[in-house]
Each structure stands twice: as structure tokens, then as C-alpha cells.
Amino acid sequence: MSTDASARIRALADEQAIRAQMCHYIQAIDRCDLELLKSTFHPDGSVIFGVFDGNAMDFCAWDIPFIRDNLLMGWHRVGNISIVLDGDRAMAESYMLGNAAAALPAEYGGGVINCPDGLRYHDVWEKRDGTWRMFSRKLIMDWNACWPFSGSTEGIYASFDTGRRDRSDPAYALGILR
């Protein structure tokens, strides 16, 4: 195999490893899995989200309890991904569609609202000891909305297995999540 072909295969493998970590990040957020979330960042990494700006490990320790305490459900989907490799460093932009249900405090009328949002992540990735992890992540909010949440579990919805926000989620039994 030529050196050029080897370099292209290595680049594809690096891009796939970064994409896999992007998915692990989203799975960790949706399953409230602190250890999985930490595994997507380098310990000296940083996060700039507006609601939290600081060390990545501190972010992980803050974010999972925040999600558990404030959101009744949440899910995220990664969309378009652009990755530019530069040796053992990469820059990436990924689009994300998220959704969360949150209980409103009484002073805001109570009830539960559904809050979808579209955002992008701007990341710097580094490969250390053969593993790609985020060195920095910045959140860019493109749009958001809110409306009443139905959360129906009646009729046909009663027959579906439901996602859970912990290690009892079916993805762990399937062996998809580590």
C-alpha cells in the first residue's frame, strides 16, 4: 500500500474515532452517565457554554446533576459534522438538535414545557496516547423554542419500552454503551 493510501486510511480512522466520541458525549448527556461524559474530554480540557465556562471535568461534575435536577427528559441528535485534521490535533464543528422537558417553577405558572433547540459545537480535539478526546468545546446556540409538553404514556405509547436516564437504559443491556 502506498504512503498516500496509508495516510488517507489513518485520516479516516481518526475522523471516525472523533465521530464516535461525539456520539459518546451525547449518549452520556442523555443517560446522565458521568463517567462516560468524562471519558470524552481530556482532564485539562475546557468548556465554554455560557451557563458554564471552565474546566471540562468540573463541567461534567456540574452538568449531570443539573440535568437530573432540572430536566424530566432530554435527547440529542448529532447532525452535520466537519472535521479538519492537523496531525494529532483536529478542529470540528458539529450541529446538534436537542430537546428537553423541564418543570416550570410555580412563579412561572407551573406545568411542564418542551424545549427543542438547534446548536453547534466548536471543538478542538487532541489525540493523546492513541485516543481522541476533546480539549475544548464551545457551544453556539442557533435557535430554541418552548411549548407545553404532552409526555403521553397512554394508548399506543403505553406499549413502547422507554428510554431511561441511567444505566438501566436498554442501550447498556445491548452493549452499545461502555
Task: Name which of 31, 25, 14, 15 is nearest 137 in CA terms.
Answer: 25
Rounded CA separation 77/27 (Å): 9
Query: For the chain, how far is it from start to end, CA to CA, in angstroms?
Result: 34
Cell representation of residue 72: 424530566
Task: Name which of 43, 56, 75 is nearest 163 in CA terms.
Answer: 75
Distances (CA, A) of 50 to 16, 55, 139, 141: 29, 13, 8, 10
CA 149, 122, 36 angle in degrees (round to 5)? 65
Rounded CA separation 32/63 (Å): 9
Q: With helix as H, strand as E and coil as C, how does 44-92 read?
A: EEEEECCCCEEEHHHHHHHHHHHHHHHEEEEEEEEEEEEEEEECCEEEE
pLDDT digits (tens, 9 = 90+) for 137-173: 999 999 999 988 877 777 777 777 778 888 888 888 8
Contact predicate 134/41, CB 8 Å:
yes
Question: What pLDDT is attached to residue 174?
Answer: 82
The stretch 68-92 carries a mean pLDDT of 95
List of residues 6+ apart from 175 with CB closer than 8 A: none
pLDDT digits (tens, 9 = 90+) for 17-55: 999 999 999 999 999 999 999 999 999 999 999 999 999
List of residues 6+ apart from 178 with CB closer than 8 A: 24, 36, 39
Question: What pLDDT is attached to residue 15?
Answer: 98
